[in-house]
Amino acid sequence: MRPNKLALGLALLPLAGGLASAQSIEQFYTGKTINFIVGAGAGGSYDIYARTLAGHMGKHIPGKPIIVVKLAGGVGGGVSTSVQMEHTAPKDGLTIGMTQPTNITSQLTEPTVAGKYDISKWRWLGNMAPLRNFAGVWHTAPAQTLEEATKVEVIMGATGRNSPTFTVPQSLNEILGTKFKFVLGYNGVADLNLAMERGEIQGRGASWVSVVAQAPQYIRDKKLKALVVDGLTRDPLLPEVPTLLELARTDDQKAALLMICGSSEFARSVFLPPGAPQDRVDALRRAFDATMKDPDFLAEAERVQIPIEPNTGENLDKIAKQIVATPPSAVALARKLLGSE
């Protein structure tokens, strides 16, 4: 009797599935390209960090795929990149992302963002360095100290309300009563620098690394002065500049700022979208960790003047879950500090 072809085909399906699932990490990544989506504009520190990582991490991934950086722009603090990674990015391990750290808390503090993504479900690979954002003034600004900024208006440029270029000086408005006013919509650090030079704005934020890497003449010629930094600790590049936490006047302010500044731990972090296969998450985490110790990577990082203070994907996963679990009272105050209500 001839075998039933349909029955034979059905019998072979589990075997075929088993062979497909047995594909090794090296087999999967061989000959592939990983798209690296970065929620920032060209020329800033995110661009520099991403390209430096992309040039070295591939050799530590089994199969040695190519990593291609795709800048998505910094308008709105990179929220669109967060939404893209959450909902439409392929979940096969061939798309990784980097977005701005304000997106870590925006899902709690910004009503327009709430529900659009969940950082506690992102598959964190690691962070190259914490980001301590500053708020600073151009040398011709009418206020050159925080005290002076409580008396006169200073026009600050920002990429959007979810960006540290807005949230750091806005927090100062709430804590100290400074009179920072905002022009929103600039597309990254390069745009902000041009606006200051043209006199359109009188100050900006972002990371001090972006000044060191892109406009060191501002430091040499004393044209841009940092007034405050966020982050959990002072910036080693600005040891005399106080942190937002140091300026907190009440326990409630300190609790809210701990949540806001905790996002600095995700500054130059890389992640896969929710639902990425665990074996590929693990492989990319180990490749990231290896890259952070790679002498060639570290030499290039030193050459382009980007600090490396790495953290693991596993640690970021824990911190993300803690931030999402912040008590509502602290979240409510953080909203006020950030101008979200």
> What is the predicted pLDDT for the residue at 109?
85
Query: Considering the domain boundaries, does residue 292 fall inside one?
Result: yes
Q: For residues 72 and 34, give the distance between their C-alpha atoms in angstroms, rounded to a whole number.
A: 15
Q: Are 138 and 129 in contact (CB under 8 A)?
A: no
| Domain shared by 81 and 170, yes or no | no
Q: Give the number of other Cβ atoms within 10 Å of residue 65's Cβ.
A: 20
Contacts of 167 by beta carbon, 8 Å cutoff, 6+ apart:
102, 161, 230, 260, 338, 339
Indicate the pTM of the whole model: 0.72
| Domain shared by 88 and 233, yes or no | no
Residue 32: which CATH number? 3.40.190.150
Query: Considering the domain boundaries, does residue 3 fall inside one?
Result: no
Contacts of 58 by beta carbon, 8 Å cutoff, 6+ apart:
34, 64, 65, 66, 67
> What is the predicted pLDDT for the residue at 76?
64
Domain holding 243, by residue range, is 134-262
**Tokens matching residue 32:** 């592939």
pLDDT in tens, 277-304: 999 999 999 999 999 999 999 999 999 9
Q: Which residues of the chain have pLDDT under 70?
A: 1-22, 75-77, 341
Boundary of a domain, candidates 262, 278, 305: 262
Q: For residues 232 and 260, give the distance between their C-alpha atoms in angstroms, rounded to a whole number.
A: 9
> If we measure between CA atoms, which residue out of 9, 11, 69 comes closest to residue 40?
69
Residue 256: which CATH number? 3.40.190.10
Q: How many residues does the chain have?
A: 341
Query: Considering the domain boundaries, does residue 7 fall inside one?
Result: no
Q: What residues are paired with 123 via a beta bridge?
A: 272
Query: Considering the domain boundaries, does residue 16 fall inside one?
Result: no
CB neighbour class for 199 (10 Å; exposed up to 12, middle 13-18, buried from 19):
exposed
Q: Give the number of other Cβ atoms within 10 Å of residue 17's Cβ.
A: 10
Q: For residues 174 and 228, give the distance between their C-alpha atoms in angstroms, rounded to a whole number.
A: 14
| Domain shared by 273 and 258, yes or no | no
Per the structure, the count of domains in the chain is 2
Query: Considering the domain boundaries, does residue 335 fall inside one?
Result: no
> What is the predicted pLDDT for the residue at 11?
47
| Domain shared by 255 and 144, yes or no | yes
Boundary of a domain, candidates 262, 296, 315: 262
**Tokens matching residue 251:** 């326990």
Q: For residues 106 and 130, give the distance between their C-alpha atoms in angstroms, rounded to a whole number.
A: 18
> What is the predicted pLDDT for the residue at 181?
98
Q: For residues 336 and 108, give the distance between their C-alpha atoms in angstroms, rounded to a whole number.
A: 12
Query: Considering the domain boundaries, does residue 331 fall inside one?
Result: no
> What is the predicted pLDDT for the residue at 13?
45
**Tokens matching residue 15:** 């075997």
**Tokens matching residue 162:** 């979810």
Query: Considering the domain boundaries, does residue 2 fall inside one?
Result: no
Strands (E), the chain: 33-38, 66-71, 95-98, 123-127, 134-138, 154-158, 180-184, 203-204, 224-229, 269-272, 311-312
| Domain shared by 172 and 255, yes or no | yes
Q: What residues are paired with 224 via a beta bridge?
A: 138
Query: Considering the domain boundaries, does residue 18 fall inside one?
Result: no
| Domain shared by 146 and 238, yes or no | yes
Contacts of 299 by beta carbon, 8 Å cutoff, 6+ apart:
none
Q: For residues 214 and 226, give the distance between their C-alpha atoms in angstroms, rounded to a whole number.
A: 16
Q: For residues 142 and 136, give the distance between their C-alpha atoms in angstroms, rounded to a whole number.
A: 12
> What is the predicted pLDDT for the residue at 77?
66
Residue indicated by tokens 């326990």: 251
**Tokens matching residue 229:** 């930094």
**Tokens matching residue 213:** 């890497």
Q: For residues 121 and 85, give the distance between their C-alpha atoms in angstroms, rounded to a whole number.
A: 11
Q: For residues 272 and 34, give the distance between their C-alpha atoms in angstroms, rounded to a whole number.
A: 11
Q: For residues 91 and 277, give the distance between their C-alpha atoms in angstroms, rounded to a whole number.
A: 8
> What is the predicted pLDDT for the residue at 341?
62
